[in-house]
Amino acid sequence: MLRSTTTVRVRYAETDAMGITYHGNYLPWLEMARVNLLDEIGLPYRKIEELGVFMPVLEVQMKYLKPTRFDDEVQVHLLIKEKPLLRLSIDYELRRGDDIIMRATTWHAFMNAKGEPIRPPEIWKEKMREVFAKKS
Amino acid sequence: MLRSTTTVRVRYAETDAMGITYHGNYLPWLEMARVNLLDEIGLPYRKIEELGVFMPVLEVQMKYLKPTRFDDEVQVHLLIKEKPLLRLSIDYELRRGDDIIMRATTWHAFMNAKGEPIRPPEIWKEKMREVFAKKS
Amino acid sequence: MLRSTTTVRVRYAETDAMGITYHGNYLPWLEMARVNLLDEIGLPYRKIEELGVFMPVLEVQMKYLKPTRFDDEVQVHLLIKEKPLLRLSIDYELRRGDDIIMRATTWHAFMNAKGEPIRPPEIWKEKMREVFAKKS
Amino acid sequence: MLRSTTTVRVRYAETDAMGITYHGNYLPWLEMARVNLLDEIGLPYRKIEELGVFMPVLEVQMKYLKPTRFDDEVQVHLLIKEKPLLRLSIDYELRRGDDIIMRATTWHAFMNAKGEPIRPPEIWKEKMREVFAKKS
């Protein structure tokens, strides 16, 4: 199991005319949580891309439970339950204080710079072995 | 059954450093397809909001099948299979020429200006009776 | 003189909690107007980039005169007053019906894929000679 | 003189197909710098809006000096040179390490919830007297 928490503060730019965060603007927060997790385990996403490896989003599921508003502080709790093999699935729970405001899952794979599917790079596999050995 | 097709052209602003459309930037296209459908059946979303009724997104599911790039022309095919009651589920298939590039579903409900759940307004129920009688 | 008009409809995604279009969301509309102009003169921006030539924005000036709202239809009138040499300056006037809602100017130059400044490509210079000869 | 510094990290969502931050995506960073300044002087923007007072952007000027990329850390240095009266002008200098990447200015006024221009609220005037007395 791999966990991480990222704090986001709602920008005015992210709200819409309903006075709440536009539903599409949660996806960059999930991205920030992934970037943060990779930093924490010592494998920054920037480094992965420098190897010519990309991890596009294949699928997204988001369930909006409560709206958020300008200046709200939101905790994005990220969880990878199982050691990823060819595909990677990531769960998110977003909280504002005690309120759960969203649950989401994203699915990812690996591709090269031409957009072709590839196997995860060696550096990724080693890191996953390491962090999943340590944690469970 | 209720159908509609909306054409979108990928803006440079919608692309990311992978050279493709950022995955979060598809959600405004689904929104445009809904706005377009409501225009076509003579019940513009702007009019619904003027009655103090809002139709927030409760849930989203998106499956990315092929990437799109700057200047691509994308057709968003929207489909409402069943006459909506308290909740509304909308399916989308996005195509670029013959390529299916995404399948998505959004779920919606009705709320008032305070964000409280409400029943659909009379004007909505009448319109749904009308369009679902005509079409099926 | 080179002119072109592009119609934009305000997306819900582009509004903010003030109920109006977020001030940063006008810049993609100016981009659409440039893309549209280049299409009209037969030199699509996509083709320019395929030559390894990019036209980044160097400077922006925007003056917001009236707010716009969800579903408003806005005309972006673009004007290039003088035949561009190494740099290009473009003026915009945005109208909703008879209301002028914004005046803006953007400045551009040419660069290669490495981000280095370059001279405009031959195809650009020819096209500019052609359209400025014809128009003035 | 009133100063403040805000750190921003470039999101993948903010980049475009040129591999750099899209020029329109700098405006939310300037917004974050303003929100941060108002927090620091003890007058959060959220509190101002709760009084029914809004501070829309009237005009923007941005000069892009160097591109930024995914994951770059950017410091937004904000400066209000003179005690604002009816209008407020704010200067920004954005740095990545020693590199100056942008210079910008925004102009603001006060309006009520109907969008009508109003005088600054008493609480704002007091705060400005206080901070400009202290600083200069």
The pair of structure tokens assigned to A31 is: 């991205």
Closest CA in chain B for residue A108: B64
Per-residue b/e over A122-132, b at no fewer than 16 CB within 10 Å? eebeebbeebe
**C34-86: per-residue pLDDT in tens?**
999 999 999 999 999 999 999 999 999 999 999 999 999 999 999 999 998 88
Q: What is the pLDDT of residue D133?
A: 87
Subunits with 3+ Cβ pairs within 8 Å of C are A, B, D
Dihedral of alpha carbons D33, D59, C23, D43, sign: positive
Question: Does pLDDT of B133 surpass 90?
Answer: no
* Residue A56 contacts B where some CB pair is shorter than 8 Å: yes
How many Cβ contacts (< 8 angstroms) between chains A and C?
Answer: 28
Closest CA in chain A for residue B114: A18
Quick one: pLDDT band at residue D50, thresholds 50, 70, 90?
Answer: very high
Dihedral of alpha carbons C62, C66, C69, C73, sign: negative
Asked if B76 and B25 count as a contact pair (C-beta separation under 8 A), the reply is no
Residues D45, A71: C-beta atoms closer than 8 Å: yes
- Cα separation, B37 vs B42, whole angstroms: 9
Of A17, A24, A69, the CB nearest to C15: A17
Three-class SS string for chain B?
Answer: CEEEEEEEECCHHHECCCCCECHHHHHHHHHHHHHHHHHHCCCCHHHHHHCCCECCEEEEEEEECCCCCCCCEEEEEEEECCCCCCCEEEEEEEEECCEEEEEEEEEECCECCCCCECCCCHHHHHHHHHHHHHHC
pTM for the full predicted model = 0.96
Q: Which of C114, C106, C115 is nearest to D66 (CA)?
A: C115
- Which residues on D lie below 8 Å from B19 (Cβ)? 17
DSSP assignment, residue C120? P
Residues C16, A15: C-beta atoms closer than 8 Å: yes
Alpha helices in chain D (DSSP H): 27-40, 45-50, 122-135
Can you list the domains of chain C with their CATH numbers? 2-135 (3.10.129.10)
How far is C-alpha B133 from the chain's CA centre?
A: 21
* Residue A19 contacts D where some CB pair is shorter than 8 Å: no
- Which residues on C lie below 8 Å from A15 (Cβ)? 16-17
Asked if C7 and B30 count as a contact pair (C-beta separation under 8 A), the reply is no
Mutate to test the interface with C, among D32, D35, D59 (most CBs of C within 10 A): D59
Q: How far is CA B43 from CA B46, C19, C74, in A?
A: 8, 21, 21
Q: Which of C127, C134, C132 is nearest to C39 (CA)?
A: C127
Q: What is the pLDDT of residue D85?
A: 83
Closest CA in chain D for residue A28: D13
The pair of structure tokens assigned to A22 is: 């536009």
* Residue C67 contacts D where some CB pair is shorter than 8 Å: yes
- Which residues on D lie below 8 Å from A70 (Cβ)? 46, 49
Asked if C99 and C68 count as a contact pair (C-beta separation under 8 A), the reply is no
Q: What is the pLDDT of residue C102?
A: 98
Residues A71, D28: C-beta atoms closer than 8 Å: no
Residues D71, A28: C-beta atoms closer than 8 Å: no
Quick one: pLDDT band at residue A134, thresholds 50, 70, 90?
Answer: low
The pair of structure tokens assigned to D70 is: 């995914």
**D1-34: per-residue pLDDT in tens?**
899 999 999 999 999 999 999 999 999 999 999 9
What residues does A88 pair with on adjacent strands? A108
Q: What is the pLDDT of residue C30?
A: 98
Mutate to test the interface with A, among D9, D31, D71 (most CBs of A within 10 A): D71
- Which residues on B lie below 8 Å from C45 (Cβ)? 12, 70-71
- Cα separation, A25 vs B24, whole angstroms: 7
CA distance C90 to chain A (A): 26
Asked if D108 and D55 count as a contact pair (C-beta separation under 8 A), the reply is yes
Instruction: Give the containing element (helix H, strand E) for D96.
Output: strand D88-96
**C87-129: per-residue pLDDT in tens?**
999 999 999 999 999 999 999 999 999 989 999 999 999 999 9
* ipTM of the complex, rounded to two decimals: 0.95
* Residue D24 contacts B where some CB pair is shorter than 8 Å: yes
Q: Which of C92, C86, C41, C31 is nearest to C63 (CA)?
A: C92
Our CA dihedral for D58, D61, D67, D69, rounded to 10 degrees, sits at: -10
- Cα separation, C28 vs C57, whole angstroms: 12
**A67-125: per-residue pLDDT in tens?**
999 999 999 999 999 998 889 999 999 999 999 999 999 999 999 999 899 999 999 99
Q: Which of D107, D122, D123, D109 is nearest to D54 (CA)?
A: D109
Of B28, B44, B71, the CB nearest to C13: B28
Q: Which of D86, D1, D85 is nearest to D37 (CA)?
A: D1
Phi, psi of B49 (to 5 degrees): -65, -30
- Cα separation, B61 vs B65, whole angstroms: 13
Of A25, A31, A59, the CB nearest to B63: A59
* Residue D24 contacts C where some CB pair is shorter than 8 Å: yes
